[in-house]
Structure 1
Amino acid sequence: MESLSGGFSFASILVAHVVVLVFFSSGGILAVTEFDFGTLTLTRLKLLGDAHWTNGSVRLTRDLGVPYSGSGKVLYSKPVQFRRPGEQSPASFSTFFSFSVTNLNPSSIGGGLAFVISPDDEFVGDSGGFLGIMDARRSRKGVVAVEFDTLMDVEFNDINGNHVGLDLNSVISARVGDLETVGVDLKSNNLINSWVDYFGSTRLLKVYVSYSNSKPKSPILSANLDLNKYLINDFAFVGFSGSTQGSTEIHTIEWWSFTSSFDANPAAPPPPPPTGSLMNPTADKASPPPPSPAPEANSSNTTAYEQKSSGKCHNHLCKDAPGAIVGVVTAGAFFLAFCALAFIWAYNKKFKSDKKNSDTILACDVIKMPKEFTYKELKSATKGFDSNRIIGQGAFGTVYKGILAATGGTVAVKRCSHNGQGKAEFFSELSIIGTLRHRNLVRLQGWCHEKGEILLVYDMMCNGSLDKALFESRMTLSWSHRKKILLGVASALAYLHQECENQVIHRDIKSSNIMLDEGFNARLGDFGLARQVEHDKSPDATVAAGTMGYLAPEYLLTGRATDKTDVFSYGAVVLEVVTGRRPIEKGVVSGGVGVGVGSNLVEWVWGLYREGRLMEAVDRRLGGEFDGEEMGRVILVGLACSNPDPTGRPVMRSVVQMLVGERDVPVVPKTKPTLSFSTSQLILSLQDSVNDLNEMVTISTTSSETSFIGGGGGGGGNGSYSDLV
């Protein structure tokens, strides 16, 4: 038995298992191996790259509070024999490990970790989607890995950002398992257990994953695997690799046990340490997630005034009256009692009236919501609204990442501001989105209005917002994904404008309000500025609200938002997606037509179109990987929607047909049209705005956008979910 290194703080409390059983072959090399974290010395592990020891566990990546791309690897220092001369069957093995993926900034995700079988003990692969397994050449012989990927990389054919994959000499997985099917979230910060069993005689590999120390009955991944075809040597090294991808993820191996032999079936690895040990303190506590407690009685919904005005309170007063006015039977006493009851009734009526004025929408529309959450549930899901769970910040509230105890599902919890404007946004958004159902809208799971808090619960969109995918992602968003996103947003707007019972004008269409699910499908969000109007009815004038670069010129002049103002904003998004440039571009394009400081993207693209150089607008990062005719049609759709004259813009139902090739794009003039607007119309509209509104336009300038805020919120996005608030 090997002694524990003095560097292990948990040495005094761990009971050693069998350390390493060594059966020597004729060459004197390890033929059968067994070890676990409770018996290893530090010299038996080899740390490479960013891997390091901390508090008795191995961290594969750095502990940084700022986004970083790096990789690390830890290996058992002695090679393990997987083949013997003259034998057809490779060795069987079984390994159990506990790991966690924590994050100092939950909105900064990316990378993952993997259990690896490596031909050498020196190589560390690249960061990001390569997970420290491979380098940028993507192929390396002699490598078998079971990956636990936390970010969907399109170039590696990932199914989502929460999966297990079997990698064979490549980071493009030969077989994958969706962890959503077993209720495990790699990014939940919880301790996760995994078992990997390989049967040499049958060439069968099985992978199990759970929050519990109890091994699941069914594997998350099962595959036929002949190790003889992939290992280049009889001996190989075993361990783990991990990487970050411009993120702050921390990948920690808390416990590891491994056993191999040339028996038909692998021996079970040593069991995990006791629950109370330092290596695995919470595994038994994590699964299954406890059921939600029964909702508490909401005492705030039954006020003292309501109790006093009920018959029960009246009886109580009558019961106590004899003891209080014994012997006094006078008209004055009855008069006083009557006055008291009348006062209480009048006060209670006023209280209810005030409450009704502020909560009218809540009373009549909340019943339509999918679910009413309790404050206790959502506080627990967000760890007490921990600042480390913030994934978005806006003018009228904050969005937190939440993990629901009842289901283990990940959600986005929007906590609205307590001021009057924040409440107005809440009621506006709740009354509109609660009645909408479309595959390209962010789904509202439920709401909470309790303890003075205003909370909305949405589906979590794992790929963040469109603006992040375009401008902040390490990977270039492919044209196929861009085209699918544009079609999805157009479909959502066609539904809002023409298929709802009442027309919905969004008023804040922009890339930071377009969320992307794990399949890069577009989900339009943030209905805080939205307005419902009857079809074919002229909308009321309001203060212009939204983001410069996306606002239609007639909306800025009149304050009247229509479906055509949404179409203009959509056109700006189309050109943004095609060019990879923001609507208000601050830089200068190298080569071609320059975009000066503060220049408008629509102006620039229309200039290229006038000069017959339209395709020069296409994002160069696409590398020409697109159909030219299709690209030209999409750009013309963007220009048609960006027409300054609202009468020249198509309706969104026609836009959908244009994008799928079922309808021709209308003729777009080479010279950008001008907005024709009479002076009398402008004066009348401005008078309407002044008469209808008692608030001023607030103009706030950021480094890249100018936001007009009024009658709601607006402004630029600052990342995933930032503009849900």
Structure 2
Amino acid sequence: MHPRKLLVFSLFFSFFVLFNSPHPTFLLVHAKNLSFDFPSLSLRNLTLLGDSYLRNGVIGLTRELTVPSSSSGSVIYNDPIPFYQPESNTTASFSTRFSFSITNINPASFGDGLTFFLSPDNQTLGSSGGYLGLVNSTRMTKNKFVAIEFDTKQDDHFDDPNDNHVGLDIKTLVSVETANPDFNLRSGDLITAWIDYKSDLHRLNVFLSYSSFKPNFPLLSVDIDLSDYLKEYIFVGFSASTEGSTELHLIENWSFHTYGFRPTSSHNVSDSSVVGPPIPNSPNKHHRRIGLGLGIAGPAFFCAFLVIFGWVSFRKWRGIKMEKSFKAELMTGPRQFSYRELKLATRGFNSGRIVGRGAFGTVYKACFRDSDTVFAVKRSKHNNHEGKTEFIAELSIIACLRHKNLVQLQGWCVEKGELLLVYEFMPNGSLDKVLYPESEEGNPLKWLQRYNIAVGLASVLTYLHQECEQQVIHRDIKTSNIMLDASFNPRLGDFGLARLMDHDKSPVSTLTAGTMGYLAPEYLQYGKATEKTDVFSYGVVILEVACGKRPIDRENCSQKMVNLVDWVWGLHSEGKVIEAADERLKGEFKEGEMEKLLLLGLSCANPDSLARPSMRRVLQILNNEAEVVVVPRLKPSLSFSCGVSLSLEDIISDVEEEIETPGHTFEIKI
């Protein structure tokens, strides 16, 4: 039977049983007071969104990094909380208590703060920076929240009074009212907060203390009626954010309860009742009890059946809809593969067929016997919202791009809950595997091949930045994302982090994404991806190609971490830049070309983004159509807006303790 017909039949049958049972029963769900207390936090009752994480019973809302980053995260109590009782037309009062700490390893690095919020949405995750992880910067009018903000950065855009205040926010981050605590919110000390709202008095009070004893007087007291914002069911939780900061926001315990609802009964009792002697149990009464039990159990069983059936049908319908949407968009593009043929071609996704692993999936070698062809199948390891977002990003961008130095997309598959992309197979693997072979027996890349890789990569980036209908910012250029075909020509791949932009438009601030060592300093600080952040990554890659060293590596003798850009710049300042050439080449290279490549890498990796050349200029230099950019002997330092001067060495040295192996990557999502 067709699912739709079966659903209609089940509905009619359930209602028939329900209304024809001897004792029809209707289940009434009444709003009741709710209470929970978490001395230690766990994922049993909480949902983490964004960059939030759980560690040893403590929730961290923003990334724990020793380098400045842009981050946002939230944690939400799983179940919606009833705040309105229709029977009595009552809005609940509530009281919550939690302990938090805000700390910063860099005292000169500010913000941005955390919030306690009530929202009708259980997917509340806003933008980084002054949006406190609560408000989406592109859809600010959509938010319908009530929040108490603990703000640690003055943001004039939201009329903040200072960089250390508590405020009540309703639908906007421009606070209804604020108060200044007597102590520093970002001191790193544990602070306990109490938030009380009394519905009958229309008053909200906020108390703060370093101790576990509630103060006698509130820090913030606001006379306000929240009944219009506490409708039916509401989700409660916390959010926080940073932008170019190392601030860390922790929640250590949490209790919450509502009160004020009146008890309700499920049936009416007549005022005129007859009181008589007790009637002994009889067989008829026993049968009536059995009938009553069956009358209740029958409808309940069918309701449960309908819920399960509806959920399964919905999942199936959503999968079909998703597949149809892909078909509609890609009708003239790459072909659709079936899951069965990809499974056969990879021998059931056998581990022996794995040719690479990335942040978003595993790549398998797929051999198709019928057509005698070989492809590479990328299998997403994230079947959640994040994985689908990256999958769609890569599919939508790659499908419409055509360049000889791009990995060509051959097809796709969305079946069995899997997200699969099919590419042409690159027999020589990725550039990092060739530059840094596991054994020293392999032959190093020859100089002509290396120079050709630099030219090909510059050509494809020029295409992405300036020749496409919409500018493409790759955001994750690194040697492991550059594939080599049979002739060692470079092919740029992995567009899971790429973003489309209209030409001549301002860059959009996003959560920082990419791999440490390839990230431009201003991208780490502000989270704004532009073509110049891609240029920086390209500069690091061609220095790797010329020197045969990783972006962040250990010295053989001292095991000290060395930053490749700083090392080459140091040799350049001494007039010995040519000594940075890969020793494995044994001098078999053109000295002029080697010097050009090294200086070009330094100019692209300049800490000052304005001093970096465009990719078109880079291509012209490599093709001897333009002069090499003049590189200063001393590497420029970078000054951030907070007033602290940081060089790239300062940024990288902060993560030395985090790096255990050469080439260790930090996937900083967004």
TM-score, length of structure 1 as denominator length: 0.46
TM-score, length of structure 2 as denominator length: 0.50
Higher relative contact order (CA 8 A, sep 6+): 2
